[in-house]
């Protein structure tokens, strides 16, 4: 069972996506971790930043409901028809498959009629609040790549909070508030994602866009990932180069789209009127037919394959990195501090491979780092795809922004924005230069930093 569902789905998706590319892929795919190239010395490996293809992440999650016995049907109960509050003889019975509405039905295939859905018990205990937490856990950091979409079968809730965790459910932060009246429910002014900008993209908002109860036909709630991407990549996400540049250099932005868990907090069901109809409390409940979460395993740009084995997602790390997220260097490959791969320079990025520990080098292996020819990069509209001199980012320490895609740094500096001292990266700034770093001027170190210093500046 090693070759997982994920692998086969991954392969399938690659095939499909290469047939129907929705946008011009001027910014590259990051779908290869290494490639063989020919040089004067023969074939050598060239290493590149790489990441798994974006996929349907609902296949790999665990769902947990709180309170645990909130699903309807145990004991059997009757509820009112959706959309017809005076037909109250529908039945939910957990022990009869045709009448049961377990949580799995939020993640099964939709498109059938009638649709299948999870349903909560009704609001029998009004005025005690009817609240449900639906927690989705991956036990793995994942990066969201598309809108989270929740389709309700009942009316959309009057109050709801989407929360996220980045530490496997230990701490939670709100992601977005939803209410028919934001001020009343959460003391927040209502906003829409369209009111945000590059500068305020990380703001947590309360939206009233998705909370009309029975009165409209729309049953869908979004958490808008793509609209937020569009602040950097432009409408229709044509300039992913620009987005990737920002993600590379702004950890907060990257973390915003990264989660290990999501929690849907249903706080008040759709009432649709000002008053709750206390004679027909079986009108009020939650029902969800579908939840969509698209994303990819976070592998720090060191893997294209994420394996689902034993109900667990793990990156298959390359570049001599290891760990569930490729978050550290393998044993004997700790010749310099671990660092994530980089989306820049576009289109192939920088692998930032782990290199052999100094003590384990007899004869330094032959590595070759071939820099892409920046002037030949396909940036369709250089002004829009600007990644090194824009509203948020500028080259630092006297670096100059070359063709809008990469800072050219003065000799002493390195990093995407020339923000780091070169010697810092090599661990050779002070006299006590730390573990694993050889004395100044060691030929091995000089060789390695010149050949492998993947974040080092281009010299023209
Ligand atoms: C839902 O989770 C929140 C924390 O995210 C907690 O404060 C609240 O009590 C939970 N509600 C239920 C009904 O379990
Ligand atoms: C990782 O180490 C192996 C030897 O264990 C070597 O063959 C390979 O080229 C290394 N890969 C990278 C990306 O450094
Ligand atoms: C880089 O590409 C440009 C345009 O394709 C070409 O004119 C130039 O000679 C190349 N430079 C190098 C160093 O290969």
**pLDDT at residue 401 is higher than 90:** no
Cα-to-chain-centroid distance, residue 237: 16
- In the numeric block, the tokens 């040089």 are attached to 39
pLDDT of residue 370: 39
**pLDDT at residue 442 is higher than 80:** no
DSSP class of residue 47 equals: E
Cα(163)–Cα(165) distance, rounded to whole angstroms? 7
Cα(332)–Cα(358) distance, rounded to whole angstroms? 9
What mean pLDDT comes out for the span 411-429? 78
**pLDDT at residue 106 is higher than 50:** yes
What mean pLDDT comes out for the span 321-346? 93
pLDDT of residue 391: 57
Cα 61 to middle of ligand 2, angstroms: 33
The encoded tokens of residue 250 equal 């702004």
Q: What is the DSSP string of 190-258?
A: B--GGG--TTTTT---EE-TT---TTSS--EEEE-HHHHHHHHH-GGG--HHHHHHHHHH-HHHHHHTE
Q: Is 310 in the pocket of ligand 3 (CB under 6 A)?
A: no
Cα 418 to middle of ligand 2, angstroms: 28
Q: CB of 419 within 8 A of CB of 385?
A: no
Cα(136)–Cα(293) distance, rounded to whole angstroms? 10
Pocket test for ligand 3, best of 39, 345, 347, 373 (most atoms within 8 A of CB): 373
The encoded tokens of residue 131 equal 């609240």
What mean pLDDT comes out for the span 123-143? 96
What mean pLDDT comes out for the span 427-442? 46
Cα(332)–Cα(287) distance, rounded to whole angstroms? 53
DSSP class of residue 342 equals: B
What mean pLDDT comes out for the span 138-145? 96
Mean pLDDT of the chain: 80
Of 268 and 275, more confident: 268
Tens of pLDDT along 234-272?
A: 888 888 888 998 998 899 999 999 999 999 999 999 887
Cα(7)–Cα(4) distance, rounded to whole angstroms? 5
Tens of pLDDT along 181-214?
A: 999 999 999 999 999 999 999 999 999 999 764 4
Cα-to-chain-centroid distance, residue 54: 9
What mean pLDDT comes out for the span 70-93? 89
Dihedrals phi, psi of 413, to nearest 5 degrees:
-115, 155
Q: Counting ligands in written order, which one lies closest to the CA of residue 460?
A: 3
Given the CA of residue 34, which atom of ligand 2 is nearest to it?
13
Of 398 and 328, more confident: 328
Q: Counting ligands in written order, which one lies closest to the CA of residue 356?
A: 2
Q: Counting ligands in written order, which one lies closest to the CA of residue 286?
A: 1
CA-wise closest residue to 300 among 132, 126, 74, 142: 142
Q: Counting ligands in written order, which one lies closest to the CA of residue 175?
A: 1
What mean pLDDT comes out for the span 330-335? 92
- In the numeric block, the tokens 């929690």 are attached to 263
Tens of pLDDT along 150-181?
A: 999 888 999 999 999 999 999 999 999 999 99
Contacts of 427 (CB under 8 A, 6+ apart): 336, 337, 433, 434, 436, 437
* Ligand 2 pocket, Cβ-based, cut-off 6 angstroms: 47, 319-320, 353
Cα(374)–Cα(330) distance, rounded to whole angstroms? 31
**pLDDT at residue 58 is higher than 50:** yes
Q: What is the DSSP string of 142-172?
A: EEE-S-EEEEESSPPPSEEEEEEESSTTSS-
CA-wise closest residue to 206 among 229, 223, 226, 231: 223
Given the CA of residue 265, which atom of ligand 1 is nearest to it?
1
Q: What percent of the chain shows pLDDT beyond 90?
A: 54
**pLDDT at residue 7 is higher than 70:** no
pLDDT of residue 275: 85
**pLDDT at residue 227 is higher than 70:** yes
Residues in the chain: 460
Pocket test for ligand 3, best of 371, 376, 379 (most atoms within 8 A of CB): 376
The encoded tokens of residue 325 equal 């997220």
What mean pLDDT comes out for the span 43-57? 93
CA-wise closest residue to 268 among 161, 162, 364: 161
Element (H, E) at 132: strand 132-144
Q: CB of 109 within 8 A of CB of 40?
A: no
**Which fold is adopted by the domain 1-52+302-355?**
Laminin (2.10.25)
Atom 10 of ligand 3: nearest residue by CA position: 373
Atom 11 of ligand 1: nearest residue by CA position: 133
Q: CB of 397 within 8 A of CB of 379?
A: no
Tens of pLDDT along 363-394?
A: 444 443 334 433 333 333 333 445 666 655 67
CA-wise closest residue to 51 among 285, 348, 382, 371: 348
Cα 337 to middle of ligand 2, angstroms: 16
- In the numeric block, the tokens 């369709």 are attached to 380
Q: Is 133 in the pocket of ligand 1 (CB under 6 A)?
A: yes
3-state class (DSSP) for residue 266: strand
Q: Counting ligands in written order, which one lies closest to the CA of residue 318?
A: 2
**pLDDT at residue 10 is higher than 60:** no
Cα(177)–Cα(188) distance, rounded to whole angstroms? 9
pLDDT interval class at 148 (50, 70, 90): very high
Written out in words, the top-level CATH class of the domain with range 55-297 is: mainly beta
Q: Is 163 in the pocket of ligand 1 (CB under 6 A)?
A: yes
Contacts of 327 (CB under 8 A, 6+ apart): 300, 321, 338
Cα 133 to middle of ligand 1, angstroms: 6
If 0-12 CB within 10 Å is exposed, 13-18 middle and 19+ buried, where does residue 121 land?
Answer: buried
Return the domain boundaries, the chain. Answer: 1-52+302-355, 55-297, 359-452
Q: Is 265 in the pocket of ligand 1 (CB under 6 A)?
A: yes
Tell me if 1-52+302-355 shares its fold with 55-297: no
Of 212 and 5, more confident: 212
């Amino acid at each position: 069972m090693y070759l997982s569902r994920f692998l086969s789905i991954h392969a399938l998706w690659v095939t499909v996506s290469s047939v129907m590319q929705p946008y011009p892929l001027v910014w590259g795919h990051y779908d290869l971790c290494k490639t063989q190239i020919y040089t004067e010395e023969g074939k050598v490996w060239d290493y590149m930043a790489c990441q798994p293809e974006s996929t349907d992440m609902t296949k790999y999650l665990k769902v947990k409901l709180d309170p645990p016995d909130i699903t309807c049907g145990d004991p059997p109960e009757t509820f009112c028809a959706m959309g017809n509050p005076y037909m109250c003889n529908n039945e939910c019975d957990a022990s009869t498959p045709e009448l049961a509405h377990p949580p799995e039905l939020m993640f099964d295939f939709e498109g059938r009629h009638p649709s299948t859905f999870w349903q909560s018990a009704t609001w029998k205990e009004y005025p005690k609040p009817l609240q449900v937490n639906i927690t989705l856990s991956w036990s793995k950091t994942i990066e969201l790549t598309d809108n989270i979409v929740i389709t309700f079968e009942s009316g959309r809730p009057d109050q709801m909070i989407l929360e996220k965790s980045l530490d496997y459910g230990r701490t939670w932060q709100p992601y977005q508030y939803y209410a028919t009246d934001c001020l009343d429910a959460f003391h927040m002014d209502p906003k829409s994602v369209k009111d945000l900008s590059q500068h305020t993209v990380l703001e947590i908002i309360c939206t009233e866009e998705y909370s009309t109860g029975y009165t409209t036909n729309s049953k869908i709630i979004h958490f808008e990932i793509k609209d937020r991407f569009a602040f950097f990549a432009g409408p229709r996400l044509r300039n992913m180069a620009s987005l990737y540049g920002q993600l590379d250099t702004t950890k907060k932005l990257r973390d915003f789209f990264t989660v290990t868990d999501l929690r849907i907090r249903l706080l008040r069901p759709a009432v649709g009127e000002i008053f709750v109809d206390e004679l027909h409390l079986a009108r009020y409940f939650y029902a969800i037919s579908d939840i969509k979460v698209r994303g990819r395993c976070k592998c720090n740009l060191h893997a294209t394959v994420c394996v689902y084995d034993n109900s667990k997602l793990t990156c298959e790390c390359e570049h001599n990195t290891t760990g569930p997220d490729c978050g550290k260097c393998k044993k004997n490959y700790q010749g310099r501090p671990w660092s994530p791969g980089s989306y820049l320079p576009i289109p192939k990025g920088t692998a930032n491979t782990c290199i052999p520990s100094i003590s384990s080098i007899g004869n330094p292996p032959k590595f070759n780092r071939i820099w892409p020819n920046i002037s030949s990069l396909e940036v369709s509209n250089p002004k829009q795809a600007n990644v090194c001199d824009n509203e948020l980012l500028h080259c630092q320490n006297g670096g100059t922004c070359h063709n809008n895609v990469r800072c050219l740094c003065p000799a002493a500096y390195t990093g995407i924005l020339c923000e780091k001292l070169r010697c810092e990266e090599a661990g050779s700034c002070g006299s006590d230069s730390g573990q694993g770093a050889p004395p100044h001027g060691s030929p091995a170190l000089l060789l390695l930093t010149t050949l492998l210093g993947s974040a080092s500046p281009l010299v023209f």
